[in-house]
Structures are given as C-alpha cells and as structure tokens.
Amino acid sequence: MISKQQQKYIQSLHNKKYRTEYGQFLVEGEKGISELLHSDYQIIQIYITEEFAQKLPTHKNLMVAPVTQIESVSTYKSNASGIAVVQQKRFEVPENFQGRILILDGLRDPGNLGTIIRLADWYGIEHLICSEDTVEFYNPKVISSTMGSFTRVKPYYLDIHSFMEKYPHPILGADLEGQNVHKWDFPKNMALVIGSESHGISAETERQLTDKVNIPRIGKAESLNAAMATGIILDNMFREI
Amino acid sequence: MISKQQQKYIQSLHNKKYRTEYGQFLVEGEKGISELLHSDYQIIQIYITEEFAQKLPTHKNLMVAPVTQIESVSTYKSNASGIAVVQQKRFEVPENFQGRILILDGLRDPGNLGTIIRLADWYGIEHLICSEDTVEFYNPKVISSTMGSFTRVKPYYLDIHSFMEKYPHPILGADLEGQNVHKWDFPKNMALVIGSESHGISAETERQLTDKVNIPRIGKAESLNAAMATGIILDNMFREI
C-alpha cells in the first residue's frame, strides 16, 4: 500500500519545482527500475506490483502495491510494473574532460534528450555538457526514454560558452555546409555539439565550433532531427574502418 | 471562416475510422503545408492564418481563417499556421521493386513511423512495405513527424510474409548477433526489415531474413530504438567509402 501522504509526495515529483526543491526524481517502468537496482543511485522507495516483484532482487526499500495505486501516482497512462523515488546526483565538473563528450545547446524535447542519453550510453560517452536552457535531465519523460541509460551518463548544466572557451580540444558541429562525415577523421579527444530541435546550433555557439561535418543526403528531406543526426555522427565517430 | 459543418468534418478526420471511410487526411503546420503545396496530392481545402498566407503561393482551395478556429479543429495543442484536408493516395504495388526498399514489421508508434519516413526521404528510398498491423501512414501524428517527407514516400500495406516469399533480392534485418554493419557490403537491390518497438522482428519474419547485421556498441545500453537503428544502418547503406 502507498499511504495518502506518500501518494501526495510522489505526485509532487511530477513537477520540476518540487524535484528541484527535494532533490529527488521518479523512475518508472520495468527497464528503468531494473537498471536502477544495478546502479549506485540512492533509492528512497520503490513501489512495485506483486508480479514484477518476482522478477527482481530484493531491496530494503521495496514495497509491493496494487497496480491501481501505482498507476494513480505514475506519470504513465498505464504502468503495470512500478515506480521508484530516487535521490538526484550532482556531478562535480572534472578539471579535464578526456575522450569524447557531447555538448547540448538548448535541447528542449524530453524524448530527444532521452534518446541522446541512450545513444551516449550505447557509444560509451560518459559526459554530457548541457546549456542551462536544456531540458532537465531528471524530467520523468527524459528518464523514461533513456531506457535505463540515465544510470550511466553524467550531465553537467553550465554556461556552455565559457566552457567551450576553455575547452582545449576540437569542437565539432553538424552543418549542411560542413565536410562529409564519412571522410572525417575524428580525434580521440573532442566535443560534439548538438543544437536545439527548432533552431539548430545558436549563432554564438556556431562561432565557437572548430569544425563542421554534414551527413550526406541522397533524397529530398530538408533535415534530420537532432537525435537522429547525433546517432549517425556517433556511429561514424566510433567506427574502426 | 470555417463553417460549423466544415469544423465537424475536419474533426471527424482525427479518427482513423473516418479517414478510411472518406479517404482523406489532415496536414498541419508550416512545414507540412508548404511541402504539400509542392506535391501532387489533391488538396480539398486549406485553412490558414492571415500571417502564414503571406508566405505561401495562392491555391484555389485556400481560405484564411482566425487562429482560434484553426486551433479548434487541429490535432495540435497550438497551431498558428494552418490545416489542410487532403485526398489520400493508394499506390499500386509495382511488379518489381528495384533499388533498396524498407519493410516495416508491426511498427506501432506514429512518431517512429514518421521519423522513418523522413529518413527514407533523406536517403532517397521511395518504397515502404508495411505489415497490415503497422500504424496507419495517414495518422496525423505520423504525417506531422515526417516534416513534409510523406509527400515523397509511397506506403504499401500488405501481407509482408507473402511479399518476402516472392521478393528475389537479399532481405536484411538488424540483430545483435548479426555481422558488423560497418563491414557489410550492401547490394544495390535489397530490402531492410525494421521490427516493432517492443518486440523487434517477429519470429516468422526472422526466418525469412537472408542476412543480419548489428551496429557495433562500445558502451552498455541494451538496445537502440527502431528508428535510430534504421538511421544508422541507412547511413552505412548509402556511404561511398
């Protein structure tokens, strides 16, 4: 059973205001909860259905609850698995970023951010530099569309322009006028900038790019979406031949 | 002005039942309407705002209407550009499919189908074979997420198993156990099968594949979504080096 007070608390975490105030967030659905249990995120409480409980290892803060109760506090329309209240993490910005990182310039769509986190995890990219107007990492729609990958990627919300000014390695952006991504030689240390869905990379950010690539087009679509372009560029970045 | 009767008619086209009965569908938003006007789709009526009208060529069935009226009949939460009622097309199945085609096996998410149509258009793929349980091509969410690419891609809803049985060229599917997509030599004539979001490629379809490829993973995400995997495979399919 989820008490009335707990229900109210969980529902408050649907809103960014309270997520920020309490420093906690929600993880919902089978995949997210399974990955959460294998991560070092601090779990405050998990409410799951009897059926799903049988598939999971035990956890001291795990409690079985009826589906109807879980659905009444979930942000999903239907949720037959469970919901967890989890402590947010704040990651300290390292002095040097080694390897390849992503810089998000004003990404607004939660589904796109989630997809990019999942991609970063697929390609083993650990660090995600986010402009302050990028959608919140702990938004429930973001968390849900990462399919558990949120546990392995670290976001840093900061002023990306000051960051890029000091960043010592190449900064790459996608641009229709850029060089063919298939022929580009990706350095070991570098940042890839991803623009917003509606406006692309901002003018200020564009001036800070050191290099531009484009994805060759055969047909007539005017563009690809931000997450799709990121996926295709990452596949080129990490290919060995 | 949109008459009461017209409003009712447009609203009926939010539902698949009436889209099928009347053989018409809706196109909404700036990008979709601009591309529509450059296509050979038969436009029954377009209602647009005064402001958007100034950016468009004239059309005999174009009518200016107030934003509030347009929003009241739109499937979008906000729509400050316009909405068009358009005649659906039925494409005759060619005797032979030359070149590269896509086969969709039970794709259910309208956003994913829209993204795949946009990708097909980006890579110049004209033919989309859809299993009968694939989400409807003329669904407003599909149309909207194609960003106008629906005008250049042809869907064929049919029994994909009988189709594959007779299809004379290689049939490729994505599979974690498949060969490295970076090393794969894509034939000029071939089909790429895309599985559903939740279940992947069905067992029956899998038996009909002639080849399997996988996208190399460096990190730990369990999978990529269907549209993302498609984009990455297509970029490999059409690369020249």
Contact A124 B219 (CB under 8 A): yes
The whole-number pLDDT of residue B51 equals 93
Residues B151 and B208 in one domain: yes
Q: How confident is the model at residue B115 (pLDDT cuts 50, 70, 90)?
A: very high
Please give the pLDDT value at position B140.
98
Alpha carbon separation from B178 to A44, B21, B183, B193, B213 (Å, rounded): 40, 43, 11, 13, 4
Residues A111 and A161 in one domain: yes
Q: Would you say residue B26 lies in a domain?
A: yes
Q: Are residues B105 and B144 in the same domain?
A: yes
Inside any domain, residue B10: yes
Residue position matching structure tokens 């498949």? B178
Inspect the interface and report whether the beta carbons of A221 and B182 lie closer than 8 Å: no
**What is the per-residue burial (b if ≥16 Cβ within 10 Å, else e) of B10-43?**
beebeeeeebeeeebbbbbbbbbbbbbbeeebeb
Give the residue numbers spanning the domain of A197.
100-237
Question: Same structural domain for residues A144 and A226?
Answer: yes
Residues of chain A with pLDDT under 70: 241
Three-state helix/strand/coil letters over chain B = CCCHHHHHHHHHCCCHHHHHHHCEEEEECHHHHHHHHCCCCCEEEEEECHHHHCCCCCCCCEEECCHHHHHHHCCCCCCCCEEEEEECCCCCCCCCCCCEEEEECCCCCHHHHHHHHHHHHHCCCCEEEECCCCCCCCCHHHHHHCCCHHHHCEEEECCHHHHHHHCCCCEEEEEEEEEEHHHCCCCCCEEEEECECCCECCHHHHHHCCEEEECCCCCCCCCCCHHHHHHHHHHHHCCCC
Same domain, B108 and B218: yes
Which of A87, A117, A143 marks a domain boundary? A87
Please check the confidence at residue B241 and state whether its pLDDT lies above 80. Answer: no
Q: Do B241 and A120 touch (CB under 8 A)?
A: no
In a domain, B73, yes or no: yes
pLDDT, residue A197, reads 83
pLDDT of B200: 87
pLDDT at B185: 95
Single out the residue in B36, B59, B87 at which a domain terminates. B87
pLDDT, mean over chain B? 95
Question: What confidence tens digit (pLDDT) does each residue in B17-47 have?
Answer: 999 999 999 999 999 999 999 999 999 999 9
Q: How many residues in total does chain A contain?
A: 241
Q: How many domains does one find in chain B?
A: 2
Same domain as A219, residue A164 = yes
Domain containing residue B15: CATH number: 3.30.1330.30
B8/B125 same-domain check: no
Cβ neighbours for A222, distance < 8 A, ≥ 6 positions apart: B31, B147, B148
Residues of B with CB under 8 A from a CB of A: 31, 111, 115, 118-125, 147-149, 152, 182-183, 215-225, 227-228, 231-232, 235-236, 238-241
Q: Is B205 exposed, middle or buried (0-12, 13-18, 19+ CB in 10 A)?
A: buried
The answer to whether the CB atoms of A235 and B240 lie below 8 A apart is no
Q: Which CATH number characterizes residue A208's domain? A: 3.40.1280.10
Q: Tell me what pLDDT residue A199 has.
A: 83
Please give the Cα distance from A141 to A107 (Å, whole number). Answer: 14
Predicted local confidence at residue A176, as pLDDT: 85
Provide CB contacts within 8 A for A211, sequence distance 6+: A170, A171, A172, A173, A178, A179, A184
> Same domain for A76 and A123?
no
User: Stretch B66-94: mean pLDDT, rounded?
Assistant: 95
Of A13-22, B56-65, B125-134, B185-194, minimum mean pLDDT range: B56-65
**Residue B60 in domain:** yes
Give how far A212 is from chain B: nearest CA, Å.
18
Residue A133 lies in a domain: yes
Are B118 and B203 part of one and the same domain?
yes
How many angstroms separate the CA atoms of B33 and B81, rounded? 9
B57 and B138 in a single domain? The answer is no
Task: Examine residue A163 and state whether it is found in any structural domain, yes or no.
Answer: yes
- Do A162 and A233 share a domain, yes or no? yes
pLDDT digits (tens, 9 = 90+) for B82-101: 999 999 999 999 999 999 99
Which chain A residue shows the shortest CA-CA distance from B234?
A232
Task: Indicate the residue among A32, A60, A87 that finishes a domain.
Answer: A87
At residue B150 the predicted structure's pLDDT band, cuts being 50, 70 and 90, is very high
Q: Nearest residue of A to residue B152 by CA position?
A: A220
Q: Flag whether A93 is in a domain.
A: no
The verdict on B54 and B113 lying in the same domain is no
Euclidean distance between CA atoms B102 and B121, whole angstroms: 12
Maximum C-alpha span of chain B: 59
CA angle (A197 as vertex; A142, A41 as ends), nearest 5:
20
Instruction: Tell me how close the Cα of A125 comes to any Cα of chain B, in angstroms.
Output: 7
pLDDT at A233: 98
Let me know if residue B95 belongs to a domain: no
